[in-house]
Structure 1
Amino acid sequence: MSLIKRSLAELIGTFWLVLGGCGSAVLAAVFMAGTNDIGIGLLGVSLAFGLTVLTMAYAIGHLSGCHLNPAVTVGLAVGGRFGYAEVPAYIVAQTVGAILAAALLLLIASGTEGFTLTSTSLAVNGYGEQSPGGYSLLSGLVTEIVMTCFFLFIILGVTDKRGTAVAGGLAIGLALTLIHLISIPVTNTSVNPARSTGPALVLFLSGEGKALAQLWLFWVAPIVGAALAGLIYRFFEEPTASA
């Protein structure tokens, strides 16, 4: 399949990830709080992010590999599973998909009475005063590196041809769910530069720039973590027999 078609599949998949994951946080996390309290909370949002990856793994995994994440794309390249020449096209497609989803989510969210544009309007990522739990820059940096490293390590493991995994999409989706359960209080969980860029850029264009100022961390840390996982996993490769 052509690179253009595979990149388009990545755009669609990342759109779904941001719409489903961030949408659950913005629209459903605290729905009717203080009255009937039927919001899905941290557990529901974590599961929603996992479900977006799980569903797209089976929808487009055979088309593009279902990266949905610039850090995953870079990590797979470092791990020898993806060509470096195709990395830029995937990253552009993923980022565009995330921006389009964030724009649609803002349109939906702003259609309610009393809507106020803030950093929480699109479930943006952040540290310090932008962190849900007030965690520092260092805490955010370490968390994003470690969580992305393990996420990519799991992806490499369940997609390894030497393995016996028959439900790789399920394992990857559950891994992302677990990551969110751990790190939502710290950074609102990124592990995905595109997921962070979409909401931050849309809010910036709408007049709220705090998230964009912290966006650098959510590119640097996930990519470092994913690249580290790629290097670590290659350590377990069997040496190629000489002719």
Structure 2
Amino acid sequence: MKNYLAEMFGTFVLVFIGCGSAVIAGGDVGFLGIAFAFGIAVLAMVYAIGPVSGCHINPAITVAMLLAGKINTKDAIGYIIFQIIGGILGAGVLYLIASGLVNYDIAINGLGQNGYGIGSPNGYDMQSAFIAEVVLTAIFLLVIFGVTHKDSNTKFAGIAIGLALTMIHIVGIPITGTSVNPARSIGPALFVQAEAISQLWLFIIAPILGGVLGALIWKIIKPVG
């Protein structure tokens, strides 16, 4: 249960800080600032809860670790459930704060939700969104597998993982707002509803497929021994 609660807290922080940077500070920091907010949130959580749960805070990562034999099925299910709960709580607290602004309207200002077509920040279509989410998640998983390998200097793993998520967001935000994490997408979508809910399937399936792809590629290229 400590592991599950750590995953819930870590996902809460990721959604609250990452999506919060978009909703509350987006006009001031822009896409680059939002990208760094997500990256720094993950970097901080790697060192805060990594010793407890491994800091997956992402169902796509948990599925990839399950395929790699680094977590059992029971714990994988528990991780994913509590990650989703954390994402919902993060979005909920963010909504409570954002709604305190007089001219805030969730239908107009959103909650940092992901989308394609009319839901895409720059109008990218469903195909572009799907490909981007699969590829970006696969890249993220390859970094995670690499920097946590026993032959790597794992003391710096959090920095590499945080910067990897930052670079992924720099490319992904204009396309979909960047998910690469179903729990990060589910939380805001449940509050925003409308297109965010109807498009949510993509931000569940594509990151999971990307995680699987990343695990398979790592299995081929990983160091022997």
Normalised by the shorter chain, which TM-score bucket? over 0.9
Q: Name the structure 2 match of 1:20.
A: 17
Q: Name the structure 2 match of 1:228.
A: 213
Q: Name the structure 2 match of 1:82.
A: 71
C-alpha distance after superposition, 1:171-202 (max 9, x if no partner): 00000000000010000000000000000012
Q: Secondary structure at the residue paired with 1:40?
A: helix
CA distance in 2, matches of 1:71, 1:192: 6
What CA RMSD, in Å, does the superposition of the two structures yield over aligned residues?
1.3
Q: CA deviation at 1:85?
A: 2.7
2:45 corresponds, among 36, 47, 56, to: 56
Q: CA deviation at 1:165?
A: 4.1
Q: Name the structure 2 match of 1:73.
A: 62
Q: CA deviation at 1:238?
A: 5.8
C-alpha distance after superposition, 1:66-95 (max 9, x if no partner): 001000110111122222231110000000
CA distance in 1, matches of 2:30, 2:223: 44
Q: CA deviation at 1:116?
A: 1.5
Does the Cα contact within 8 Å between 1:21 and 1:49 map onto a contact in 2?
A: yes
* Structure 2 residue 177 is the aligned partner of structure 1 residue 188: yes
Does the Cα contact within 8 Å between 1:197 and 1:215 map onto a contact in 2?
A: yes
Does the Cα contact within 8 Å between 1:79 and 1:233 map onto a contact in 2?
A: no
Q: Secondary structure at the residue paired with 2:56?
A: coil
C-alpha distance after superposition, 1:110-134 (max 9, x if no partner): 1111121226420100001110110
Q: Which has the higher helix share?
A: 2
Q: Secondary structure at the residue paired with 1:46?
A: helix
Unpaired runs of 5+ in structure 2?
none
C-alpha distance after superposition, 1:12-53 (max 9, x if no partner): 0000000000001100010xxxxxxxx111111000000110
Q: Secondary structure at the residue paired with 2:78?
A: helix
The TM-score normalised by the length of structure 1 is 0.89
The TM-score normalised by the length of structure 2 is 0.96
CA distance in 1, matches of 2:75, 2:154: 26
Does the Cα contact within 8 Å between 1:124 and 1:200 map onto a contact in 2?
A: yes
Which structure has the bigger radius of gyration?
A: 1
Unpaired runs of 5+ in structure 1?
31-38
CA distance in 1, matches of 2:24, 2:81: 27
The alignment-based identity, stated in percent, is 49
Q: CA deviation at 1:203?
A: 2.0
Q: Name the structure 2 match of 1:168.
A: 157
Q: Name the structure 1 match of 2:146.
A: 157
Q: CA deviation at 1:164?
A: 3.1
Q: CA deviation at 1:232?
A: 1.2
CA distance in 2, matches of 1:164, 1:116: 46
CA distance in 1, matches of 2:172, 2:222: 30
* Structure 2 residue 32 is the aligned partner of structure 1 residue 43: yes
Paired AA for residue 225 in structure 1: G
